Amino acid sequence: MAWIGSFLFVVWMYGLMALLGLLFAPTLLGPRSWTRWAFRVYLALVFGGLRVLCGIRYEVRGREHMPAGGALVASKHQSMFETLAFWAILPDPAIILKKELAFLPFFGWYAMKLKNIKVDRAAGAKALRDMLKQARERAGEGRQVVIFPQGTRLAPGGTDTYKPGVAGLYSAMKAPCIPVALNSGLYWPAHGFVRRPGTIVVEFLPAIGPGLSKDAFMTELETRIESASTALLGETGKR
């Protein structure tokens, strides 16, 4: 049954996090490239377990739109899957994460060594300034800054406003923004326990070039992501 596979997967994922987190801890003392290698070993094993225990695979579409260097990537957010998967898919991402994740054992250690971007949501304008500063630095290093513009995980078909932080990043970075649609919540739910077999699709859409006004950019971004994500749900017959 699906709940048995889901239970075993949770044990596998978090057990590996602890085991490999300790085994690879020396990489935290070396260059970031060492830690990046260690984290990708962990991800390969996690997604292998996801396939074997839960029958979930993932497919990447629109690879021709994937950025090789500095860029802003704005993605739909439906599950924990994409928080991990972008590290396996993109060349060298810096994912914008809420500050609380930085204090988690194992995950937080590696997330900070990998120079992801932590945001203190309670800090208001200061948090936005700090996020913009870090994002410009990461893009200048040739990395892909990944943000979930709705700010939270939503069930498939769920809606919420697109937060203005993504527009601030777009304006400050002066780099292309690549929208990403996905359907991960159909198989790895946003908040539930049971994972269900199927193929998660992560679809990179054509880039939005720099230079649009805030309103024009936000409208274009939301239209592209929501339309493509709805189309992915339509492929499974679930709207």
Element containing residue 54 per DSSP (H, E): helix 32-54
pLDDT at 227: 95
CA dist., res. 76 & res. 152, Å (int): 9
Segment of 54-58, 65-69, 235-239 carrying the highest mean pLDDT: 54-58
What token pair was written down for 230?
């709805």
pLDDT(235) > 90: no
| Adjacency order of strands within the sheet including 117-119 | 56-61, 198-204, 177-182, 71-75, 144-147, 93-98, 117-119
Phi, psi of 237 (to 5 degrees): 80, 15
- Contacts for 91 with CB less than 8 Å, ≥ 6 apart: 67, 68, 144
Name residues whose C-beta falls within 8 Å of residue 74's C-beta, 6 or more positions apart in sequence. Answer: 146, 147, 148, 149, 166, 177, 178, 179, 180, 221, 225
| Over residues 127-145, mean pLDDT | 86
If we measure between CA atoms, which residue out of 133, 217, 110, 109 comes closest to residue 170? 217
- What is the three-class DSSP state of 44? helix
Asked whether residue 239 carries a pLDDT value surpassing 60, the answer given is no
In three-state secondary structure terms, 50 is helix
Is residue 84 very low, low, confident or very high in pLDDT (cuts 50, 70, 90)? very high
* Residues paired with residue 71 on neighbouring β-strands, in sequence order: 144
Average pLDDT over every residue of 45-71: 95
What are the residue boundaries of the structural domains of the chain, listed by start? Answer: 57-235
Query: What's the chain's length in residues?
Result: 239
The whole-number average pLDDT for the span 160-179 is 91
Question: What's the confidence (pLDDT) of residue 77?
Answer: 94
Identify whether the C-beta of residue 145 lies closer than 8 Å to the C-beta of residue 174: no
